[in-house]
Amino acid sequence: MYKVLLVDDEALTREAISENIPWGKLGFELVASCENGRDAMEVIRQKKPDLVLTDICMPYVDGIELAKYIFENCPDTKTIIISGYDEFEYAKQAVRYQVMEYILKPITPSELTEVLLKAKARLDEARTERTTLKKLKGAYQSNRPLLRGRFLNSLLRGDERRENLEEKMKDLDVSLPGSFYNTAIVTGDDLSPFLERYPGVREELAQFSIYNITQELIEQRKLGVVFQNMDTSTVVIFYGDNKKELDERAETALTEVQKTVKELLFIDTTAGVGEDVSDIMKLYPSFEKAKAALELRWLLGGSRILWSEMLDASKSAPIDVSHWAERVLAGVKAGNTEIIEKEVRGFAQELRERRTNRTRSIIYMQNLLLSVINSADLEEEQENEIYKEEKELMNRLYTYERLRDMSTDIIAICGHLSRLLNEQRDSYGKKQAARAQEYIERNYMNSDVTLNSVCTYLAMSTSYFSTMFKTHTGETFIEALTKKRMEKAKQLLENTSKRAYEVAEEVGFSDPHYFSVAFKKATGKTPTEYAKEKRKK
């Protein structure tokens, strides 16, 4: 129901209109009737009617003055003038005060009903517009932080125009006083302590909580403005009157943010800080530097403030990956995990000192690992095994939060590579030792068999073969050869009537005397003594 106020100085007119109009059926409620504009103003203030039907000529305050009052004080209230005066001046003033209808007396109930129906349609339309506008304003207010964040994002991208800036900042309640500005990005290093403490909570709440704490600590002290970026990280625009003040305020505020977030949320945070600028329209390069500084977290670790000045480092010479690969490979071949870790960590440290960005660091680390694997000379089966690990690492490359974490993974793969090489050497050594023993079995009767001859046969160096053979058999090659010859000599002396010199020649000794000496050393008896003893039995 729309509320209606009737104003006319003629009692009969008020009575006729009041009684002859079906107000309820038309969607109206007649809340009052007045005999002059002065009384009507009081009723309007109290009852706030939606529609006023008024005469023009009345004592104290006439209809035109009343229409003016309504126009100036009650913009949502509609006015209809019912007048006995068909004068242009009245009509002109009625238009000025946005009177809905100007109708002349006398007017019949049916005519007035038609006018009221038109008025109701207009009121319905106005109500719909007000409802829509109210919803829009409500949505605007509820989304204001989002709109504010979008605007500040646009400002940091350099997309805003100077001529529109002041108006937008005022509309979104953004205040950036001062002569110098800087930007910072605050992000959680590891959200898991918070998420584990509050099961079922999503990461977005942790990120919002960081933003909320940062905003409260910085905006309440009027140090800067804070908003959440599209990636949910927290962004700060600091302002100050000079560079020294600006940097001091930024460091103090960000240190307190880190401390408070740790105490309340159990989350370590890192802040990347850009460079100072003297023009609010030049925040873009400052923000880019803040993003680049934050990337140093991958190199230098988190839970700290990373300043854009840290980006400067010596880049005069390229990093020699092959140099580091050789050092790591030496540890791999030696089976020394301490050397492996020392050299991989050393390589990572050089990347840090050069301030190598994340993408290039990953490429360098990948090249280091591939160089070591390719130089390890694994057998095909083992090589496939280690390349499978390397492929899995490649799939994880861009998931590492720290260079240190990636280095740890590479150290683990190199350790596995070292074990595979050791197993390969062990297997190879066993095979070669077995081949050497077979060589002895087939050639012990040949006096030309020596350490050099077996190494030539196996295509190995004498030093490596000697070490390998002793490792896998527990004796030297000469000891094994002599042992075999003595076994065969004893068999011949026991089971044949051959003389000592004949046995010597048959088991590979060209000098019978040397055979006798070697035999006595091995058995405690000369060949002749041994033969007599065994043959008697």
> Does residue 362 share a domain with residue 326?
yes
What does the alpha-carbon distance between residue 436 and residue 315 come to, in Å, rounded to a whole number?
Answer: 55
> Does residue 150 share a domain with residue 134?
no
CB 330 within 8 A of CB 307: no
CATH number of the domain enclosing 265: 3.30.70.270
Which of 94, 121, 140 terminates a domain? The answer is 140
> Does residue 203 share a domain with residue 107?
no
Query: Residue type at 396?
Result: R
By percentage, how much of the chain surpasses pLDDT 70? 93
Average pLDDT over residues 500-504: 89
Which of 309, 340, 367 terminates a domain? The answer is 309
β-pair partners for 101: 80
> Kind of pairing, strands 101-104 and 234-240?
unpaired
What does the alpha-carbon distance between residue 498 and residue 482 come to, in Å, rounded to a whole number?
Answer: 20
Q: Is pLDDT above 80 for 85?
A: no
> Kind of pairing, strands 234-240 and 180-188?
antiparallel
> Does residue 467 share a domain with residue 351?
no
Per residue in 43-57, pLDDT (tens digit) is 999 989 999 998 888
- Range of the structural domain that residue 22 is part of: 2-140
- The structure tokens listed for 311 are 């980006």
What does the alpha-carbon distance between residue 524 and residue 533 come to, in Å, rounded to a whole number?
Answer: 13
> Does residue 478 share a domain with residue 369?
no
Query: What pLDDT is stored for residue 317 in this prediction?
Result: 63
CATH number of the domain enclosing 487: 1.10.10.60
For residues 141 and 474, the model is more confident at 474
- The structure tokens listed for 11 are 């009692």
Say if 61 falls within a structural domain: yes
CB 33 within 8 A of CB 5: yes
CA angle 204, 205, 207 (to 5 degrees): 65
Q: At what angle are helices 403-443 and 358-375 packed, to 10 degrees?
A: 10
Sheet holding 224-228, edge to edge: 224-228, 234-240, 180-188, 269-273, 305-307
Say if 86 falls within a structural domain: yes
| Number of independent structural domains in the chain | 4
Query: What pLDDT is stored for residue 91 in this prediction?
Result: 65
DSSP 277: B
Query: What pLDDT is stored for residue 218 in this prediction?
Result: 95
> Does residue 156 share a domain with residue 272?
yes
Q: What average pLDDT is seen over the chain?
A: 86
Please give the C-alpha separations between residue 37 and each of 63, 98, 256, 446, in angstroms, as whole numbers. 6, 17, 64, 142
Sheet holding 51-54, edge to edge: 28-34, 2-7, 51-54, 78-83, 101-104
Which of 400, 426, 452 terminates a domain? The answer is 426
The helix/strand count (H/E) of the chain reads as 23, 10
pLDDT band of residue 315 (cuts 50, 70, 90) is low
> Does residue 168 share a domain with residue 102?
no
pLDDT band of residue 137 (cuts 50, 70, 90) is low
> Does residue 486 share a domain with residue 375?
no
> Does residue 302 share a domain with residue 328?
no
Give the SS3 label for residue 54: strand
pLDDT band of residue 168 (cuts 50, 70, 90) is confident
pLDDT band of residue 27 (cuts 50, 70, 90) is very high
> Does residue 182 share a domain with residue 303?
yes
Task: Say which range, 108-112, 228-232, 316-320, 488-492, has the weakest mean pLDDT.
Answer: 316-320
Give the SS3 label for residue 51: strand
Give the SS3 label for residue 199: coil
Query: What pLDDT is stored for residue 261 in this prediction?
Result: 95
Say if 337 falls within a structural domain: yes
